[in-house]
A and B are shown apart, each in its own frame.
Chain A
Amino acid sequence: KQEVTQIPAALSVPEGENLVLNCSFTDSAIYNLQWFRQDPGKGLTSLLLIQSSQREQTSGRLNASLDKSSGRSTLYIAASQPGDSATYLCAVFTGGGNKLTFGTGTQLKVEL
């Protein structure tokens, strides 16, 4: 059974700091890994998707890496801003089950 863990559960940083969010998964037989952002009371926004054959993806100030063999992914956020404050979710897609398995998220607060 696939399990996804995210560390830390919560993080508070001053504006401008670079930060790393961590995600680990137990079953390396994944099709892809996605990072989502969830704002309070709202839905999920897909930030980055990394296929199992890829090592990393970049979008603006975000960079996500994937080490499939070790079951790890990191989301790097450069020059953090207060608008980055949200919960960040990592999810892996296991094709056999046709479903995403989510971690419990990292709640990020970027302070002025």
Chain B
Amino acid sequence: NAGVMQNPRHLVRRRGQEARLRCSPMKGHSHVYWYRQLPEEGLKFMVYLQKENIIDESGMPKERFSAEFPKEGPSILRIQQVVRGDSAAYFCASSPFEGGNEKLFFGSGTQLSVL
């Protein structure tokens, strides 16, 4: 059973371009979380999704950021018109259960660098 897979591992974008980050949860997991780790800061929650539904997006910036978790395929975190402040490590985690009473399994992250 493969772990949580994130790609790409490293993504370089110029200011104004779009960044698409992908996350494939562990097999059998239907709950996906995205977290962002800014330099010298802790991980911050962004969004929680179940298949085809956004459950909690309270940590996601209102503009330029969007997330989806379609019925088929990976979860996508999309950042439009990237700025230098978006440079960070973006981590995805998955769980088979709602409520988080089980461990969350994290991917290795995508390091986004905005030039």
User: Residue A99 contacts which of B41, B48, B103 (CB distance < 8 angstroms)?
Assistant: B48
Q: Does A101 lie within 8 Å of B45, measured CB to CB?
A: yes
Q: Does B42 lie within 8 Å of A102, measured CB to CB?
A: yes
State whether the Cβ of B1 lies closer than 8 Å to any Cβ in chain A: no
Q: Does B99 lie within 8 Å of A31, measured CB to CB?
A: yes
State whether the Cβ of A62 lies closer than 8 Å to any Cβ in chain B: no
Main secondary structure of the interface of A (DSSP, over half): strand
State whether the Cβ of B100 lies closer than 8 Å to any Cβ in chain A: yes
Q: Does A43 lie within 8 Å of B108, measured CB to CB?
A: yes
Shortest Cβ distance from A101 into chain B, in angstroms? 7
Q: Does A32 lie within 8 Å of B100, measured CB to CB?
A: yes
- Chain B contacts with A in 31-52, Cβ cutoff 8 A: 33, 35, 41-45, 48
Shortest Cβ distance from B21 into chain A, in angstroms? 13
User: Residue B41 contacts which of A43, A51, A104 (CB distance < 8 angstroms)?
Assistant: A104
Shortest Cβ distance from B89 into chain A, in angstroms? 9
Shortest Cβ distance from B97 into chain A, in angstroms? 11
Complex-state Cα separation, A44 to B107, whole angstroms: 7
**How many B residues touch A, CB cutoff 8 Å?**
29
Complex-state Cα separation, A101 to B42, whole angstroms: 9
Q: Does A99 lie within 8 Å of B42, measured CB to CB?
A: no
For B93, the chain A residues whose CB sits under 8 A away are 44
Interface size class of A (residues with CB under 8 A): 20 to 34
Which of B11-19, B53-61, B69-77, B78-86 lies at the interface with chain A? B53-61
Other 17 A-B pairs with CB < 8 A, given A42-B108, A49-B102: A31-B99, A32-B100, A34-B104, A43-B4, A43-B106, A43-B108, A45-B106, A46-B103, A46-B105, A51-B101, A97-B45, A97-B58, A98-B56, A99-B100, A100-B43, A102-B35, A102-B42
Q: Does B107 lie within 8 Å of A43, measured CB to CB?
A: yes
Complex-state Cα separation, A34 to B103, whole angstroms: 8
For B59, the chain A residues whose CB sits under 8 A away are 99
Q: Does A49 lie within 8 Å of B108, measured CB to CB?
A: no
Residue interface bits A87-112, CB-to-B below 8 A is 1, else 0: 00101010101111111110000000
User: Residue A98 contacts which of B42, B48, B103 (CB distance < 8 angstroms)?
Assistant: B48
